């Protein structure tokens, strides 16, 4: 009987651990956007939160503070070849993508540290600014349609972040 109970407890514990590891079951599931811009293959790996009736910009995601540009782990931006982002050079590589949203201007940050959880204890972005590779300024605009889930798109002109009623295009060549 003791062996049975031990095996049952081990099975239940293992099931819970593996279930927590399944990122697809998270409230903000993983998503990916990819495309080709010139010679570069671009991939953006992120977790996609939903609006769920909340005011996003200026409240859930405060203006003027660094944000992980998604949920859960820091968003990852990868380019297979050197590119120009808003006219500035970004070498081929893998970067954490952060943003500092503003009502009229955003800062998009490409940081060399990858693999970290997106926020520190206390809620600040897990961003070491000493490891910034590139930061560019972009202008947000009202999106053509409401976007319940955060989504990135990659096309021949660059990439865009779309969520709630905002679209943030970033030019890439």
Domain ranges of the chain: 25-171
Given a contact cutoff of 8 angstroms between Cβ atoms, the answer to whether 161 and 71 are in contact is no
Backbone angles phi, psi at 135, to 5 degrees: -135, 130
Average pLDDT of the residues of the chain: 87
| pTM recorded for the entire structure | 0.83
User: Could you report the per-residue pLDDT of 58-108, keeping only the tens digit for each?
Assistant: 999 999 999 999 988 899 999 999 999 999 999 999 999 999 999 999 999
pLDDT tens digit sequence for 75-84:
999 999 999 9
For 150-160, the pLDDT digits (tens) are 999 999 999 99
pLDDT greater than 80 at residue 135: yes
Residue 5 has pLDDT above 50, yes or no: no
Read off the pLDDT of residues 10-58 as tens digits, 9 standing for 90 and up. Answer: 444 444 444 446 776 766 889 999 999 999 999 999 999 999 999 999 9
């Amino acid at each position: 009987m003791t062996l049975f109970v031990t095996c049952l407890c081990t099975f239940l514990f293992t099931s819970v651990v593996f279930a927590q590891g399944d990122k697809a079951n998270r409230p903000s599931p993983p998503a990916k956007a990819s495309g080709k811009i010139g010679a570069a293959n671009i991939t953006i790996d992120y977790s996609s939160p939903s609006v769920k009736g909340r005011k996003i910009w200026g409240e859930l995601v405060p203006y003027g503070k660094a944000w992980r540009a998604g949920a859960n782990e820091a968003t990852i931006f990868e380019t297979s070849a050197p590119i120009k982002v808003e006219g500035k050079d970004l070498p081929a590589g893998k970067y954490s993508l952060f943003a500092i949203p503003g009502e009229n201007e955003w800062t998009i940050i490409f940081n060399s540290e990858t693999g970290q959880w997106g926020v520190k204890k206390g809620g600040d972005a897990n961003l070491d600014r000493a490891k910034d590779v590139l930061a560019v300024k972009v202008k947000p605009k009202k999106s053509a349609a409401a976007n319940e889930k955060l989504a990135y798109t990659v096309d021949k002109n660059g990439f865009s972040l779309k969520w709630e009623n905002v679209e943030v295009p970033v030019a890439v060549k």
